[in-house]
Structure 1
Amino acid sequence: MTIPSGRFVVLAAASALALRCGFAAAQAAPAAEPPLTLPAAIELAIGSHPALRAAAHDVAASSAAIEQARQLPNPELSYLREGRDAGTRTTTIQLNQPIELGGKRRARVALAQAGLDVAVGERQARRQALRADVIAAYFDVLAASERAALAEQAAKLAERSADVVSRRVAAGKASPVDAARARLVPADARIERDRAATALAIARQRLEALTGLTVADRTLQAPQLPVPTALPAAPDRAERAPAVRRAGRELALQQARVDVERAARVPDLTLTVGSQRDDQVARRQAVVGVAIPLPLFNRNAGNVVAARERAAQAQAQLEAARLEARSALAVATLQYTQARDEAALLAQTVVPDAQHVYESTLKGFEYGKFAFLDVLDAQRTLLQARTRQLQALHDAWRARAELEQLNGDDGEQP
């Protein structure tokens, strides 16, 4: 069949326009953002948060302090001239070299090394704290998203119930009072939906502040909750808690200061070598001397006692941190176990049963077997069950994050 030239031009133009529109639509359609996993969020926060950069500068400064502590005292060059007139003057040039005794340099280096350990530990503690904050913020967004979805479902249920009531009222099978009640339920559901949307926006803002990433258009993946482990009887897990580690490093630092103060009780020796010229006899002679302070009045006893007391204080704080860590570990483990089991029970039995009861009650109301108050009660029971399930799941996530922080976990996997 021969196509007229005019129609052919029209068809060709239409085809070209369709292809161009399709290509433009393909270009305009944004690529879907990949889901934001919890390990990815933690990696983003650790790689960009200024608190960790500040901790890294502290570690670098502590490393430089060790190099400074290793340095020996500088020698002193002195020049002394006695007399003004030529031929009667005495000129002395000498070099004084302090020599540290009592292990001062070794104690000073040990103290600087303990300070570096404290700085490294603080950086690790900040990293763990930041990781815990990201986990909590991530789970808050997940929970807020679930609450927003639950509020949306509640609004739809309310609209569905109101629609059933309006149809029964129109058919003369229900009282206008039921219609008034039905109109109130969707209004309350819309208010709760708006509140849930606001809470979701706030939770997203907190997560964005930690990761530096816009998460409004990103979906989050809820990690699986592992089976609860047995409550540890040995205190070795408490030793990994950040507070216990921090207290242990502080104790080592205070003990190093005790060694520094003890070494300071030993006076330093100063060796002197030089040359002296006497113009009257036109002769130069060597000068050799030794100087050492006499510890008659100041033996650094007060500083030694103060350092020992601070070390004893650090020891007591370490013991207190161990007790608190053991108690917190036990509480967090029990909370996690209870919340996880409650969430599983609600998801497996309570919520499905409540959903079945609501569907049956609503269908029975349509056939005139139940009153509208029964429908409202079934709807309220269903929403309460879903809310309890969501709260239990959120509590389990929170307890899991706290357990990881108490255990000193710092891996990529949550």
Structure 2
Amino acid sequence: MSSDPVEAIQEPERVESLTLADFEGIAIQNNPTVASAAARMNAARGNQVQAGLYPNPVVGYHGVEMGLRGTSGQQGGFISQRFITGGKLGLDQAIAGKEIDEAHFRFHAQEQRILSDVRVRFYDALVAQRRVMLMKELAQIGDKLVSATEKLIEGRQGTENDLLQAEIRSDESHILLDNAVNQEVEAWRRLVAVIGLPTMKKSPVTGELDGDLPILEWESCYARVLNGNPALQAARMRVDRARIVIQRAKKEPIPNIDLSVSHRHHNVTDDNVTNVQVGIPIPVLNRNQGNIRNAEAEWVRACNEVKRIELDLQDRLAVAYRRYANARQQADRYSNRMVPRAKRSLKLVTDAYEKGQVEYLTLLTAQQTYLQVNLSYLDSIRELRAASSVIDGQLLTDSLSVRP
């Protein structure tokens, strides 16, 4: 993908609904951290160009013995140049090249953070949307049961307390519906924040919430994270860079050559004089010992940083995979057994209550069970989608957080 600064696109107008792929594409084009990461990579390329440039020559004028015997003395000019030896410029460029590689991996790491965040928040929005539908259903059931209870009282099969309880439950269901709507709005606002369009008008999100659920295995997930995590690859580039820095530090004592050529006219004798001067520092006292030692220590630190990141990835993957495994088995049980049974139970009890065959307490219990089972199912699906998105995203998240 191009690393040039990204031009933001206009937010979609009058969109009926948006899919996960739509949000991912918008995010990559509009999230400001993509342009920041691209700018970092371009800066590294500029550093590489600068690292290979030779020192500029120095051109100057000199005049001596001016006024001698009433003349202008010696008048002339000079040119000097420093010649870099020992392949230092090539090593400087190689160091900058590794910084480009690191910036490249950091760029792709940031892209992955954005995609992971989009996927997590997309499914949060999808779950919130489903929760609103569930609460609307319960609110309708509550309103319907109030009417049914009133009819039972008219037929002398219900009590005033039954009606009060039905009205309370109906009001509670409407409160839960309002809360669900607010949660849906929150999920939408967080989603459009991460895609870089915070004022985007709310529209339905379309996707498979509980269909085509991912099946993940620990071994393959672990191998994929260690082999493909771009943040880890960036750390490995820092090891390579540190190795070249050691080589560069050991080349520093090789003296550069300073060459100066001057030419002047002696106005007293009318002679032209040319001087050539060559100088090199003698590395007797300073052989760059301290910087070599510093570079070697930095290489050790970089190597251990790679090991630390690998261990940290395993630690975080263990947590994410446990979340996924728990959510997967919960979602399977809820979907295949508990949700259908709770729905069937509520229908049977509701029909019986409307006929005056069961007490309101039995109906209340069935309602609570139906609500709790469905909410728990949605929570398990949300957790499953979030955990699998984090794992698929190489454990890279929090795209809007500040990073050095």
The answer to whether structure 1 residue 97 and structure 2 residue 84 are counterparts is no
Q: What CA distance in whole angstroms lies between the structure 2 residues aligned with 1:236 and 1:100?
A: 44
Unaligned runs of 5+ in 1: 1-30, 410-414
2:226 maps to which residue? 238
1:137 maps to which residue? 121
CA drift of 1:34 comes to 4.1
Is the deviation greater in 312-321 or in 224-233? 224-233
1:13 maps to which residue? none
**What whole-Å deviation, never above 9, does each CA across 1:102-129 have from its counterpart, x for those lacking one?**
2210111112212222222222122111
2:152 maps to which residue? 168
Counterparts of residues 121-136 of structure 1 (less than 5 Å): 121-136=105-120
CA drift of 1:229 comes to 3.2
1:189 maps to which residue? 173
SS in 2 for 1:350: helix
CA drift of 1:397 comes to 0.9
2:19 maps to which residue? 37
Q: What CA distance in whole angstroms lies between the structure 2 residues aligned with 1:197 and 1:51?
A: 30
TM-score by length of 2: 0.85
**Aligned Cα root-mean-square deviation (Å):** 2.5
- Give the alignment partner of residue 394 of structure 1, picking from 377, 382, 389: 382
SS in 2 for 1:273: strand
Q: What CA distance in whole angstroms lies between the structure 2 residues aligned with 1:173 and 1:408?
A: 61
2:330 maps to which residue? 342
Is the deviation greater in 256-265 or in 308-317? 256-265
Counterparts of residues 12-411 of structure 1 (less than 5 Å): 33-86=15-68, 89-91=73-75, 93-211=77-195, 212=197, 214=200, 216-222=202-208, 224-232=211-219, 235=223, 237-406=225-394
Equivalent position amino acid for 1:228 in 2: I
Equivalent position amino acid for 2:53 in 1: Q
CA drift of 1:355 comes to 1.1
CA drift of 1:338 comes to 3.1
Equivalent position amino acid for 1:38 in 2: L
Give aligned-pair identity as a percent: 22
Count residues with an aligned counterpart. 379
CA drift of 1:38 comes to 0.6
Q: What CA distance in whole angstroms lies between the structure 2 residues aligned with 1:382 and 1:226?
A: 23
Q: What CA distance in whole angstroms lies between the structure 1 residues aligned with 2:262 and 2:127?
A: 80
CA drift of 1:300 comes to 2.6
Q: What CA distance in whole angstroms lies between the structure 1 residues aligned with 2:224 and 2:186?
A: 39
Q: What CA distance in whole angstroms lies between the structure 2 residues aligned with 1:239 and 1:301?
A: 37
Q: Note if contact 1:243-1:325 (Cα within 8 Å) is conserved in structure 2.
A: no
CA drift of 1:353 comes to 0.6
Q: Note if contact 1:93-1:276 (Cα within 8 Å) is conserved in structure 2.
A: yes
Q: What CA distance in whole angstroms lies between the structure 2 residues aligned with 1:77 and 1:33?
A: 66
Equivalent position amino acid for 1:229 in 2: L
CA drift of 1:371 comes to 1.9
Q: Note if contact 2:61-2:77 (Cα within 8 Å) is conserved in structure 1.
A: yes
**What whole-Å deviation, never above 9, does each CA across 1:90-146 have from its counterpart, x for those lacking one?**
445332211112221011111221222222222212211111121122111101111
CA drift of 1:368 comes to 4.1
Equivalent position amino acid for 1:157 in 2: I
TM-score by length of 1: 0.83
SS in 1 for 2:208: coil
**What whole-Å deviation, never above 9, does each CA across 1:155-209 have from its counterpart, x for those lacking one?**
1222233332222222222232222211110111111111111111111112223
Is the deviation greater in 296-305 or in 41-50? 296-305
Q: What CA distance in whole angstroms lies between the structure 1 residues aligned with 2:164 and 2:146?
A: 9
SS in 2 for 1:357: helix
Q: What CA distance in whole angstroms lies between the structure 1 residues aligned with 2:373 and 2:201?
A: 29
Q: Note if contact 1:332-1:399 (Cα within 8 Å) is conserved in structure 2.
A: yes
Q: What CA distance in whole angstroms lies between the structure 2 residues aligned with 1:371 and 1:277?
A: 121
Q: What CA distance in whole angstroms lies between the structure 1 residues aligned with 2:48 and 2:159?
A: 86
**What whole-Å deviation, never above 9, does each CA across 1:250-288 have from its counterpart, x for those lacking one?**
333333433333332332111223334444543324322
Q: Note if contact 1:228-1:336 (Cα within 8 Å) is conserved in structure 2.
A: no
Q: What CA distance in whole angstroms lies between the structure 1 residues aligned with 2:294 and 2:62?
A: 42
1:25 maps to which residue? none
